[in-house]
Structures are given as structure tokens and as C-alpha cells.
Amino acid sequence: MTLSLNEDRLVKIKLQGTPSYPSHWPWSVGHDGVSRMTPSVGGITLNFRVGDSVSKFVSDHLEPGVSTTTEHDPKKRSSSSKDRAYNSYSCIGNTATIISGEAKGATGIVTGHHGGIEHVIIDFDEDTMSKMSYDDKIMITGYGSGLKIEEFPDISIFSLDPTLLKLINPTVKNSKLLFPVTKVIPACLMGSGLGTSEAYKGDYDIQTSDPVLNEELDLLSLKLGDIVAIKDHKNTFGPSYTKGAVSIGVIVHGNSYLCGHGPGVQIIMSSLSDIEPIINTDSNIGKYLKIGRYQV
């Protein structure tokens, strides 16, 4: 059946940001007791894109493509209404257009949000990124906030462009929304990001400190853009353990050595009983949108 979406009632709003400077952190001690200083969040990252392994590079929380913000001082972002709007109203799958500089006119796609650092992450092709500077202005057409599936009023949807939802094309069987995912993640592995009160503009991490579960679930094979299910977690008002609930999310940043951290998941959908994850190893936003390593 074709799902009925309320897309004709959704606001389209212009949101303007700029590339965020790369952040530099001092030595950090990982869950293995080793101290490292590696590339991390922020920047125009030319060779890390949707479709790459979360563990491809020696890095920590590395963000693919172009990390963007409205406020270059990270300490001011959580209190900036401008930056909160930029993060909250932009949705995965939205179009972003560069409106200044040498790459003016080039377009990309929003691929996620990284909480804490408050970045909106955008995929542009490598030629475009090579021309960009940190003074460039980027305009996102925010579209998707308030999205609902009419047949499933109890499913909460976050930060998802309706066009992407239609490309994913989940099906319905026995009054359940069958959603394609690459993996099902147990609740016990969810770490940093717990305790937040909403799922619109951030993420939380899959802990990768347990080598046994890493191998059992093949966690280190996760790719940026992979769609995953989190078992027994409800995200309607922020992430919380709820037996039987299912949340669907997108892998938005790379792996981490830090305790309680790992690949970041931005939630796009959550329900107590209406979602059934179906394993499909090809379920990646890059394949649906033809971006990143899947660019035609």
C-alpha cells in the first residue's frame, strides 16, 4: 500500500549556515586505556563520506563531508536560538545550496545532525568541497518537521524529509510498518546522548567498547548513512528504555575510542508497537539519495 503523508501541511523554511572549523581536542584516553590525539568533529572533510566505514580513519567522532553551524563558538551554540532553529528545522534528505564563494550554486544533501557539538552535516561531491572555504554561506531548505504517516498516528517521526521516506518505501503487513534496516542494535549498547529530552537535532552513540558484541553484531562494519533499528528504545520525548519499543535511526558520524561512545545514530522514527525492522543490508540513505560513495 502507498502510505499517506501529511507533506502538503509541512512548512518549507530557509536556513542559513556556514562550514564549521575543525575542532582540536587535547589528548583523550580511550576505553582501552590508550591516549590519542586524532582528527575529530567539524571541518570540510574531503575523503570521508556517506557509505564509508565508521572505522575507516584514525579519528574520533569524525563527521563526513561538510560540518555546518550558525555559530563558530561551540560554547554559545546550545544557547543560540539561531543555531537551535538551524539544527531543529533542517531534516535528513533536505537540499543544501552554496550561495557564495567559488562553489556558489552547487547543491548537497543534509545527512544528519551531531548533538553536543550541534552540527548539521551535509554531503557535497568532492569537487565542490575542494572549492569551498570556511567563509562560504550555505542555504538549506528545511522541510519535514512535523511529518506524520496518516495510517500510523502513534509513530513519531523526526528530522526526515518526506521525499527520503518515500524513497525508502517501507511496507505494511499485519498492521505493522516494516522498515528496512542494516542491523538491529540492542538497547544495552546505547551510550553517550542518553538523557536528552528530544530527538529532533542530535544523536546518541552505539558503544563499541565490547569486542565480543562488536564481533557478534559486526558493529565495526557499519557505514555512514546506514539505517539501523534500536530495540527496546522509545524516542518520542528523547531516548529511554521501553521494553518492546523500536526506534529507527541513521548513522551520522564515525566511531570513537572514548568510554560510552561510538558511531552516532540520529533517530528518524520511533514507536512503542507499530514498527517492525526488516534486515536489508542495502538500507543506506546514500543508496536511496545517490550521494556519497553511491553518487552516480
Tens-digit pLDDT profile for residues 261-274: 999 999 999 999 99
CATH number of domain containing 68:
2.40.10.170
Q: What is the pLDDT of residue 144?
A: 98
Strands 227-234, 275-279: parallel, antiparallel or unpaired by DSSP? unpaired
Tens-digit pLDDT profile for residues 91-112: 999 999 999 999 999 999 999 9
Task: Kindly state whether residues 222 and 247 are assigned to the same domain.
Answer: yes
Task: Kindly state whether residues 76 and 173 are assigned to the same domain.
Answer: no
Average pLDDT, the chain: 96
Is there a domain that residue 151 lies in?
A: no
Is there a domain that residue 3 lies in?
A: no
Cα dihedral across residues 73, 78, 83, 88: positive or negative? positive
Q: How far apart are CA 46 and CA 258, in angstroms?
A: 24
Average confidence (pLDDT) over 17-21: 97
Residue 75 pLDDT greater than 80, yes or no: no
Cα dihedral across residues 5, 231, 182, 108: positive or negative? positive
Is there a domain that residue 4 lies in?
A: no
Q: How far apart are CA 173 and CA 10, in angstroms?
A: 27
Is there a domain that residue 175 lies in?
A: yes
Q: What is the pLDDT of residue 238?
A: 92
Secondary element (H or E) of residue 81: helix 81-89
Cα dihedral across residues 111, 225, 251, 248: positive or negative? positive
Q: How far apart are CA 77 and CA 147, in angstroms?
A: 26
Q: How far is CA 113 from CA 15, 208, 233, 265, in A?
A: 14, 20, 19, 9
Is there a domain that residue 149 lies in?
A: no
Instruction: Give the domain extent around 127.
Output: 9-143
Q: What is the pLDDT of residue 71?
A: 86
Q: Residue 73: which pLDDT band, with cuts at 50, 70 and 90?
A: confident
Is there a domain that residue 160 lies in?
A: yes
Tens-digit pLDDT profile for residues 82-91: 999 999 999 9
Task: Kindly state whether residues 127 and 217 are assigned to the same domain.
Answer: no
Average confidence (pLDDT) over 187-212: 94
Tens-digit pLDDT profile for residues 243-258: 999 999 999 999 999 9
Report DSSP letters for 84-128, one per residue: HHHHHH--BT-EEEE-SSTTTT-EEEEEEEETTTTEEEEE--HHH
Q: How far apart are CA 70 and CA 119, in angstroms?
A: 9
Task: Kindly state whether residues 61 and 101 are assigned to the same domain.
Answer: yes
Average confidence (pLDDT) over 201-225: 96
Q: What is the pLDDT of residue 296?
A: 82
* Predicted structure pTM score: 0.96
Buried b vs exposed e over 72-91: b needs ≥16 C-beta within 10 Å? eebeebeebeebbebbbbbb
CATH number of domain containing 171:
2.102.30.10
Q: Which ranges of 136-261 does DSSP label H, i.e. alpha helix?
A: 162-168, 211-217
Is there a domain that residue 23 lies in?
A: yes
Q: What is the pLDDT of residue 153?
A: 96
**Could you tell me if 109 and 95 are in contact, meaning their C-beta atoms sit under 8 angstroms apart?**
yes
Q: Which residues face 278 on adjacent strands?
A: 180
